[in-house]
Each structure stands twice: as structure tokens, then as C-alpha cells.
Amino acid sequence: METITFTKKEYAELLTIKSKLDSILKAKKMTTYPKNNTFENAFGVFRDSFGGGDSLDYVNKLRKEWRK
């Protein structure tokens, strides 16, 4: 296996390119679109937490209990 040597200038250029690419990829990660269903946004924490059922079913059961 051969080794590759870079000058300090080339190394600095590579680091700047790497930082620019990292910032672009980070920005792409941050542009995930939110869920459209606000109910799921509010109660999505309960997903698959209670008997493998749907979080909507669980919250509906809670609401029925609160109304009694």
C-alpha cells in the first residue's frame, strides 16, 4: 500500500472542503418536515409503548376514562 502525502496548503483546502460538506449535510438533516398530524405530534411519545397498540387508541382510551 502506498502512502499519499499532502502539502500543508492541500491539507488546509481538504479541511475546508470537508467542513463545507459537513455543514451542507447537517443542514439537510435539519430540514426534515414535521408530521402533518398534530395529534400524532402531541402523543407520538406513546407509540408502541402500551401493548404494541397504536398511540391514538391509547389516548382515546385515556380520554374516555377522563370523561367518566
Look up the domain containing 12 and give its range: 8-67
Residue 29 CB neighbour total at 10 angstroms: 8
Model confidence, pTM:
0.39
pLDDT tens sequence across 14-38: 999 999 998 888 877 666 665 566 6
Q: Percentage of the chain surpassing pLDDT 70? A: 59
Q: With bands split at pLDDT 50, 70 and 90, how would you rate the model's confidence at 11?
A: very high
| Neighbour count for residue 68 (Cβ, 10 Å) | 4
Q: Which helix (H) or strand (E) holds 63?
A: helix 55-67
- 1: in domain: no
User: With bands split at pLDDT 50, 70 and 90, how would you rate the model's confidence at 13?
Assistant: very high
Is residue 2 included in any domain, yes or no? no
Is residue 22 one of the residues assigned to a domain? yes
Is 54 within the bounds of a domain? yes
Instruction: With respect to residue 3, please indicate whether it lies within any of the assigned structural domains.
Output: no
| Number of domains into which the chain is organized | 1
